[in-house]
Structure 1
Amino acid sequence: MAFNKILVPLVRSQSAEAIFKQALKLAQDNNSSLMLFHSVDWDMGEHFGSFAEIEAEVDLSGAFTQARQEKLQQELQETKEWLETYIEQATAMGIPTESKCQVGHPGSLIRDLAKDWNADLIVMGRRGLSSFKEVFLGSVSNYILHHASCSILIVHKE
């Protein structure tokens, strides 16, 4: 089976390099193009402290909302620069590569992008959560396994 379009969702973690290298090898072997993807969660409350929601309700001047938007823009810019390093590596090898960064829940964004871009394969990692944490936090890789309309390769940590 040949893969023409490979979607590669990445998160900033130690496993990102291994996932990218696996996708790069597959793209090279199949003469494929790559789409690198990262999602930024709109709920960035952890970046603002534990009282973020209370502060948001009493902040009549809009400073909290403005700070949140600025933080989100900064995160998007940093992500684009981070993905650009991978694009440069792939392009140097002659592999057509593009990237996309969106705000929202990663599971549905990956599923929709795979469908809209007509991906043949998704190459992604898994967080490796314990079964207890996975019950409460959910798993993006599990969601993709059950909802994506193309083949999926899960790259495990070494």
Structure 2
Amino acid sequence: MADQKILVALDQTSASNLAFDYALKLAQSNQSQIRLVYCLTVNPYENLGAMIDAGVGLHSSTEVQQKEEAAHLQRAQEAHMWLEQLRIAALDCGIEADFICETADPSRFICQVADDWNADLVVVGNSGKEGLKKLILGSVSQYVANHAPCKVVVVPSDHSSEVEFSTHLIS
């Protein structure tokens, strides 16, 4: 049986562009539908300077919070526009597509959406993090490959033709 429901995890990197292209080709050959998933993340250290300034009274905490909320709203709007462009590209190829954009931990959220949607396959890109960076930041693709409730394809960011398949299923 062909994979009829393909979830594509995206993060606006070249790795996720390759994952989208891979999923699109796979969906065309299997007449599948795709669901694009993008997670906005909250980086608590992004505005550390402004928070420290607010803490010592140089700016009001309300002002800092309003700026953070406005920046988050801007990122959300940009993400929705990008996802809509990808959805239209899929539709132009004859592929039924929709998308989800949430503020969440990407690793867990991708697995949860795959489970809730009863995905047959998750396609995720691998940014190629290694060593200390991978240890500290973690790897979304590795987490998804180990925890998704369905098959997972990890598309490498180095444009090689090798993809990693994972059939780890939660029991």
TM-score exceeds 0.5: yes
Indicate whether 1:54 and 2:23 are aligned: no
Greater shift in the superposed pair: 14-23 or 71-80: 14-23
The alpha carbon displacement at 1:55 in A equals 3.5
The share of aligned pairs that are identical, in percent, is 37
Residues 1:84 and 2:84 are matched in the alignment: yes
Residue 155 of structure 1: aligned partner = 155
For residue 49 of structure 2, what is the amino acid of its counterpart?
F
CA contact (8 A) 1:6 1:27 kept: yes
Match of 1:110 in 2: 110
Measured after TM superposition, the shift of residue 44 of structure 1 is 5.4
CA contact (8 A) 2:51 2:61 kept: no
2:145 alignment partner in structure 1:
145
In 2, the alpha carbon distance for the partners of 1:56 and 1:122 equals 42
| Cα distance in 1 between the residues matched to 2:31 and 2:71 | 38
> What is the one-letter code of the residue matched to 2:64?
F
Q: In the aligned structure 2, how far is the partner of 1:82 from the partner of 1:32?
A: 21
Cα distance in structure 2, aligned partners of 1:105 and 1:111: 10
Q: Please, which runs of 5 or more residues in structure 1 have no aligned partner?
A: none
Could you say which residue in structure 1 is the equivalent of 2:75? 75
- Structure 2 unaligned residues grouped into runs of 5+: 160-171
TM-score relative to the length of structure 2 = 0.85
> Counterpart of 2:120?
120
Counterpart code for 1:102:
E
Which 10-residue stretch deviates more, 102-111 or 11-20? Answer: 11-20
The aligned residue for residue 64 of structure 1 is 64
Change (3 A) 1:44 1:76: farther
Question: Which residue of structure 1 lines up, in the alignment, with residue 24 of structure 2?
Answer: 24
Distance 2:53 2:114 in 1: 37
**After alignment, is 55-64 or 36-45 more displaced?**
55-64
Secondary structure (helix, strand or coil) at the match of 1:155 reads strand
Number of matched pairs = 156
Q: Cα deviations across residues 73-132 of structure 1 (Å, max 9, x unaligned)?
A: 110000000111111111012110001100021001101111111111000101211122
Q: Which residue of 2 aligns with 1:7?
A: 7
The letter for the 1-side match of 2:154 is: I
Equivalent pair of 2:15/2:127 in contact (CA under 8 Å):
no
100-109 or 51-60: which moved more? 51-60
CA shift at 1:20, angstroms? 1.0
- How far the C-alpha of 1:52 sits from its partner, in A, is 4.0
* SS of corresponding position for 1:45: coil
